Structure 1
């Protein structure tokens, strides 16, 4: 978790980066911004850091070869942390590197802000952090003010909404040998091909395999198993699938620690389905090179995140939705020969 109630913005440089495939260039400023205006500092802090307070995932910088020294952003961050006098010079190199990877035709041009923060808190540590941000979306604003007994309306084009950061990251001065701790925001556009350039091509990130990600990955994996894989091996109604998802969510909300054997025994139950899930898990680990431990501490934040996408609703044509939150034995499925239609029978004690 990131907080910035003690943080301060020490230095910031702004550059412009275009899109190579559109024959756009980059433009570098000659010096860092003057930060004498306290209101500007406050607005910039809000613009850059507020979206990152919501970041749960912590990443590390990496390189596909395994040699971290080949990650350009890691090298730039190291130089800044070791010698802040080189900040503006390094900010120019960061902008040039972002330009080098901005080759997809749908990548938008925009301003790049490279900032140095002091006393940003992550996971209980107050640390210096290097921030890299990009604004791509511009908006038009109306300005209304009194004028000779009435009001005048003007507008300003190509303004930046400080509540809508497009892309950003904070690189914390800790765990250098592991690729530093990094949190990121990326409001991806409609083109996923264009979207990957920030995390994959520019920063080259790998997600840290901590309790949050172990919990998040296990719940996501199990959801995909129930909704996509089980049909290949077992005949199951949608109500039964919803019940399996509800039971898994109940397990994660009530337990402090995940145990694979306990989870599969209590939630899945069927020995054949248990074996199928473990095989499915192994295939996921091999394909994505992301091991999931047999035991780990459950992250409440990850459970809350997954709970938003776990569906407990049974949709019947366009007429009815049935929300199943508890005992699935109180709902029965049948077929009416006269109407030639399926039906559900629902048992309850009180109507509210």
Structure 2
């Protein structure tokens, strides 16, 4: 997130949240933080806001009525009446404590913050931030001792590693606000209490998420279903990954029929992909449109995890960027080993 120098901290508080299933307590602070140290404020803003991607937006949801989403309701009260900040932060802490029963959930500090002048979608907005720090690191501290120096050790928080966060912008209130989410711990399906149980947010149905989800779908399909069902080589998988990514990099709009025809080619592969897509959508509770504008920010994000490296034992790594027809795979009966032939015009 950009424009952090202009952000102001209006109110902030810290509560301690344990895991009730382990007998750990909740410790509620009776007072907000004193925010009169400019350096600490600047570090806190950097720690809390830097990890967010403003293109990756969610919204609060509820099965029956949005107003019954507790986090949505508490945040709304903070926006409407900042004097209720302390009371709403306590309610947020108690709710998170009640949701922290999974065995993988760690004890940590809950930060609730009211920000002003957060730059989002071309203007400065108020925002409520809800963050949890779970990971402690040990730092060496040098201090004066007589005529010399000594070393000590202290446990603290690495301000470059936010564990969990939620940033709610004061916009689109009737639809569940626009919300950015960070969850860098407990990513296992059975421990995603932060997103699913506490916040209850869902991705916005916009070009970013349609692009991001479709590329994620392609990657999983190629690495799992395509590899297992059609018994293809690793180079064939990489080739299909490259062609999928090239489609998104060279087109302005996605069209499902066009994509499957140009990239998947074979009818049986297309059928398998469509079945996989239906399961993918059901598991994520997100329906991917058959046509949408391609979002370049989402393409850039996904391109970092689309690997085009063919690793052969521990001896060779071959980067495949295209021209699958210039690669030949075979088996040498004399040595009893597989081999690849690479055809090229010149060395560089």
TM-score by length of 1: 0.91
State the alpha-carbon separation in 1 of the partners of residues 108 and 231 from structure 2: 52
Cα contact 2:60–2:202 (8 A) shared by 1: yes
Q: Which stretch of structure 1 is more off in the superposition, 333-342 or 201-210?
A: 333-342
Cα contact 2:254–2:290 (8 A) shared by 1: yes
State the alpha-carbon separation in 1 of the partners of residues 239 and 257 from structure 2: 19
Question: Aligned with 1:12: secondary structure?
Answer: strand
1:204 aligns with 2:200: yes
State the alpha-carbon separation in 1 of the partners of residues 329 and 208 from structure 2: 38
1:15 maps to which residue?
A: 15
Residue of 217, 220, 233 corresponding to 1:221: 217
State the alpha-carbon separation in 2 of the partners of residues 275 and 19 from structure 1: 45
Cα contact 1:106–1:191 (8 A) shared by 2: no
Gaps of 5+ in 2: none
CA offsets 1:29-80 (integer angstroms, 9 cap, x no match):
222122122222112112211122x4542111112x2321221101101111
- How many aligned residue pairs are there? 348
1:96 aligns with 2:94: yes
Cα contact 2:227–2:233 (8 A) shared by 1: no
Cα contact 1:17–1:111 (8 A) shared by 2: yes
Shift of the 96–105 alpha-carbon distance from structure 1 to 2, 3 Å rule, reads same
State the alpha-carbon separation in 2 of the partners of residues 274 and 123 from structure 1: 38
CA offsets 1:207-263 (integer angstroms, 9 cap, x no match):
112111111111121222223223566453332222121111111111221122222
2:330 maps to which residue?
A: 334
State the alpha-carbon separation in 2 of the partners of residues 240 and 69 from structure 1: 50
1:178 maps to which residue?
A: 175
State the alpha-carbon separation in 1 of the partners of residues 229 and 42 from structure 2: 57
Shift of the 126–165 alpha-carbon distance from structure 1 to 2, 3 Å rule, reads same
CA RMSD of aligned residues (A): 2.2
CA offsets 1:10-43 (integer angstroms, 9 cap, x no match):
0112221222112222122222122122222112
TM-score by length of 2: 0.92
CA offsets 1:317-348 (integer angstroms, 9 cap, x no match):
33333221121111112222322332211111
State the alpha-carbon separation in 2 of the partners of residues 268 and 148 from structure 1: 73
Cα contact 2:4–2:46 (8 A) shared by 1: no
Shift of the 257–190 alpha-carbon distance from structure 1 to 2, 3 Å rule, reads closer
Q: Which stretch of structure 1 is more off in the superposition, 140-149 or 124-133?
A: 140-149
